[in-house]
């Protein structure tokens, strides 16, 4: 099996997590899936660069983060950050879930600066350790910690009304 087959087959089971990460970064479902499409195309085009001893999920998540940053730059931030009415897409009906609170959270997340938002997506949504996120973002662990603390404080303030 050559490396492009290995990457292609390895990506299939990662698709749900990749889509979740993209949703946390991009917000709107349509934007997020556009991002996933760009990520898959890039990953396949660069399959030769992936070394089998490196974790494929981290490799492709790094591509996703960089592609999202490229998109942000290309579109200009103000246009990209989603309008409040679009946040409703995230309020998925689920037993025990509180759509109003999730809407609140989605809006708060969308309002975070990209530096904060990506740390939240990688650590709190995807579940990476601080060290893994720092490596992916190419920043010191202390930077991850402080960005996460500030992002958390902002999100908590939005949730605080209800808790």
Closest CB to another protein among residues 26, 73: 26
> Shortest gap between Cβ of 152 and another protein (angstroms)?
6
In the complex, the smallest distance separating the C-beta of residue 130 from another protein, rounded to whole angstroms, is: 6
Q: What is the DSSP string of 141-163?
A: HHHHHHHHHHHHHHHHHHHTTT-
Let me know: does 116 contact 154? Beta carbons within 8 Å.
yes
CA gyration radius, the chain: 16
CB atoms within 10 A of CB 78: 6
Using CB under 8 A as the binding rule, whether residue 62 contacts another protein is answered as no
Count of residues engaged in binding another protein, rule: CB under 8 A: 55
Beta carbon of residue 68, minimum distance to another protein (angstroms, whole number):
15
User: If binding is defined by CB under 8 A, does position 23 make contact with another protein?
Assistant: yes
Chain positions contacting another protein, by CB under 8 A = 5, 8-9, 11-13, 15-17, 19-20, 23-24, 33, 36-37, 40-41, 44, 55-58, 90-92, 94, 96-98, 101-102, 105-106, 109, 120, 123-132, 145, 148-149, 152, 155-156, 159-160, 163
């Amino acid at each position: 099996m050559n490396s492009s087959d290995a990457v292609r087959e390895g990506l299939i089971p990662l698709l749900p997590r990749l889509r979740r990460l993209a949703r946390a970064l991009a917000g709107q479902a349509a934007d997020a899936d556009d991002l996933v499409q760009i990520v898959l195309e890039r990953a396949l085009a660069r399959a030769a660069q992936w070394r089998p001893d490196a974790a494929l999920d981290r490799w492709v998540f790094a591509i996703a983060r960089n592609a999202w940053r490229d998109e942000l730059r290309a579109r200009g931030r103000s246009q990209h950050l989603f309008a409040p009415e679009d946040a409703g897409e995230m309020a998925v009906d689920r037993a025990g879930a509180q759509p109003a609170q999730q809407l609140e959270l989605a809006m708060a997340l969308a309002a975070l600066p990209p530096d904060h938002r990506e740390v939240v997506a990688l650590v709190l949504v995807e579940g990476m350790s601080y060290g893994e996120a720092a490596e992916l973002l190419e920043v010191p662990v202390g930077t991850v910690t402080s960005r996460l603390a500030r992002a958390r404080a902002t999100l908590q303030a939005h949730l605080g009304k209800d808790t």
